[in-house]
Amino acid sequence: MKVLITGGAGFLGSALANALIAGGHTVRAVDDLSSGDPERLNPAVHFQRGDVADIPRMWTMLQGVDVVCHLAARVSVSESVLYPGEYNATNVGGTIALLQAMRDAGVRRFVLASSGAVYGDLDGPAREDDAPHPNSPYAVSKLAAEHFVHTIGGLWGMETVALRIFNTYGPGQPHRANHPPVVPSLVRQALSGGSIVVFGSGRQQRDFVYIDDVVNALTAALSGQGLSRLTINVGSGVATSINDLVATIGRALGRDLTPLRVSQESGGVSYLCADLTRARERLGFVAKTGLDAGLARVIEAYRARK
């Protein structure tokens, strides 16, 4: 299988690219390097720096490709509130441009990495047929990208699959200065001996899914049959509060951690967890790495870098 991965030098993109190379596939990766690092990639990956909105460049990279996995996106919820136009241009406009390049190059299979954020706040596990209630420009842009992908795919004869990926974590996840992901942020604070900052009450619950499990789901979507026009959740299926996440990190470190609660900033939606029925039925997907084991690997990787 010949695969093009956009956002291929990012945290998830590089993990997928390296796994596909290990599985004997041919991989091309493109990334604008706004947050990616090509040093993460296996040397066998054919990497180019570029923007998915550059249709001529993408047309060239798409020659001979069987399937595209579109991971390139801007992903900060808080930043999207400040710059909604830029998020629309990248996450929606970039997706449409890539689809146009695929049409012209004759590539007929497309996997989109969407987000569990499209659901907004729900009372129970999110099912794919639940009405979405996106509450940030980021979430709106991912939902709009889904609609464009499935609609254009139907009009242009492409197979399209959208995976709504929940809170991915794992070793090597970047710690962005501006609104970093919660797992690397808390682990870094705990290892440094500083205050463990928790926004809101800490009772808000999230679905934390280990990166290897997400890679397995993406790999299944790239080659699976009978998936066209489907939207599928990818998560652990377990809701964990931020308070419990802090306690789990503390257990891994062998000490109690006391959170410093910051009530001035929202902790986001109160509950977000994936129902994985469709993922099991259509992808054969089961999350294999529990939170305790996953966090232990994250902590081990942080310590190894010091």
DSSP string, 250-263: HHHHTS---EEEET
Coil, strand or helix at 154: helix
At residue 7, what are phi and psi to the nearest 5 degrees?
65, 30
Q: How many whole angstroms separate alpha carbon 185 and alpha carbon 249?
A: 11
Residue 278, CA distances (Å) to 66, 127, 129, 210, 298 in order: 25, 8, 10, 19, 29
> Which tokens in the block code for residue 186?
């808390």
Cα dihedral: 12, 16, 19, 20 (round 10)? -170
Known catalytic residues are: 138
CA-CA distance, 241 to 254, in Å (whole number)? 20
Q: With contact defined as beta carbons under 8 Å apart, do 185 and 246 qualify?
A: no
